Amino acid sequence: MIDGLLGKKLGMTQVLTDDGLSVPVTVIQAGPCVIVQRKTVEKDGYDAVQLGFVEFVKGKNVTRPMAGHFKKAGAAPVRFLREVRLTGEDGDDAARAGDRVQVDIFKNDERVRITGTSKGRGYAGVIKRHGFRGGRATHGSMFHRAPGAIGQSASPSRVLKGTRMPGQLGNARATARGIAVHGIDEEKNLLFVRGAVPGPTGGYVVIRKG
């Protein structure tokens, strides 16, 4: 059983419940996806499928090795590829190269994990990046937004690895867990989930059950 799907974040909106409450939801273009490759325990050491998010791609933008990869699966070239593990013991007939996977694998009120690339915030200081408190803001203070001491004096006389310091913020893999499915539009392959999802509008995401 395939327990995941690829999608594209379309943005956020709000929906009204029967009780008159406004619920913020994220709209995701969840599929359709095509199985490009089947991974087996005998050949690859694990059970999984390589999914491709069905989206038009110009042929000139596809390398020759990848073009042959898609041709072998009998699928049109795609831009976004990711592997999704298989659960259960359904055998090879459960998922074959060239098969399509739709948004109907999910159901309302189901909990999912959504993985994407967070928005890049550029170079940031320790207050914005790590939530440091900073120093006093009074007149004459020489310590406002600095990180403070980062090393030791005599031993070990170096900066330890993993010390929280200024640097790149965002533009990294991020996963939101426990997101509830609010609604599904099977005709348009739309998935409505409650709350926010990592990444900007138009960013690709991977949706997994559990």
Integer Cα distance of 199 and 204 in angstroms:
8
| Span 66-85, pLDDT tens digits | 888 888 888 888 888 898 88
Please state the pTM of the whole predicted model.
0.81
* Cβ-based neighbour number of residue 79 at 10 Å: 13
Q: What's the pLDDT band for 13 if we cut at 50, 70, 90?
A: very high
pLDDT recorded at residue 94: 66
Whether the per-residue pLDDT at 89 is higher than 80: the answer is: no
Integer Cα distance of 73 and 50 in angstroms:
11
CB 192 within 8 A of CB 26: yes
**What is the 3 state secondary structure string of the chain?**
CECEEEEEEEEEEEEECCCCCEEEEEEEEECCEEEEEEECHHHHCCCEEEEEECCCCCHHHCCHHHHHHHHHHCCCCCCCEEEEEECCCCCHHHCCCCCEECHHHCCCCCEEEEEEECCCCEEECHHHHHCCCCCCCCCCCCCCCCCCCCCCCCCCCCCCCCCCCCEEECCCEEEEEEEEEEEEECCCCEEEEECCCCCCCCCEEEEEEC
pLDDT recorded at residue 84: 87
pLDDT recorded at residue 46: 86
Domains with residue ranges and CATH for the chain: 1-30+106-120+170-210 (2.40.30.10), 32-101 (3.30.160.810), 124-169 (no CATH)
| Span 182-192, pLDDT tens digits | 989 888 899 99
Residue 20 vs residue 95, higher pLDDT: 20
Whether the per-residue pLDDT at 92 is higher than 70: the answer is: no
Integer Cα distance of 143 and 78 in angstroms:
52
Whether the per-residue pLDDT at 3 is higher than 80: the answer is: yes
CA nearest to 106, candidates 36, 177, 186, 14: 186
pLDDT recorded at residue 17: 83
| Span 40-62, pLDDT tens digits | 888 888 888 888 888 887 878 88
